[in-house]
């Protein structure tokens, strides 16, 4: 699993029939401690109704096809949760207001 921020929406009018009805989102992987961008943006199927700007948990590979909505679909990356809080060694590094910067010290 990896932490990411929803950066945008992807619209595809022509797609595999098994993708019809699935929401595609552009996600930017994040460093879990600092909240800084980590890597290139990716396209993921949204299984939880995340909105732009929300911090989410993504899974890839066969794990992305383990949800009720993505089973038997040609999916390699899925948003599986919206993150409310991250604590590292007893310190909150992220909550719904944003990253605290505590983890980068």
Q: Is residue 101 part of a domain?
A: no
Asked if residue 52 is part of any domain, the answer here is yes
Q: Is residue 93 part of a domain?
A: no
Q: What is the DSSP string of 24-50?
A: EEEEEEB-TTT--B-S--EEEEESS--
Residue 15 tokens read as 């797609």
- The CATH number assigned to the domain holding 48 equals 2.40.50.220
What is the total count of domains within the chain?
Answer: 1
45 lies in a domain?
Answer: yes
Domain annotation covers residue 96: no
Q: Which domain holds residue 3?
A: 1-60+67-74
- Whether 17 maps to a domain, the answer reads yes
Per-residue pLDDT in tens (0 to 9) along the chain, 105 residues = 999 999 999 999 999 999 999 999 999 999 988 899 999 999 999 999 999 999 999 999 999 999 999 999 999 999 999 999 999 999 999 999 999 876 554
């Amino acid at each position: 699993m990896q932490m990411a921020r929803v950066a945008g929406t992807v619209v595809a009018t022509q797609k595999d029939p098994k993708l019809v009805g699935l929401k595609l989102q552009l996600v930017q992987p994040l460093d879990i401690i600092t909240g800084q961008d980590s890597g290139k943006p990716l396209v993921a199927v949204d299984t939880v109704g995340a909105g732009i700007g929300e911090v989410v948990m993504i899974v890839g590979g066969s794990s992305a096809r383990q949800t009720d909505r993505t089973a038997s679909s040609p999916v390699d990356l899925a948003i599986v949760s919206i993150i409310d809080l991250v604590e590292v060694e007893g310190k909150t590094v992220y909550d719904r207001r944003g990253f605290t910067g505590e983890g980068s010290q």
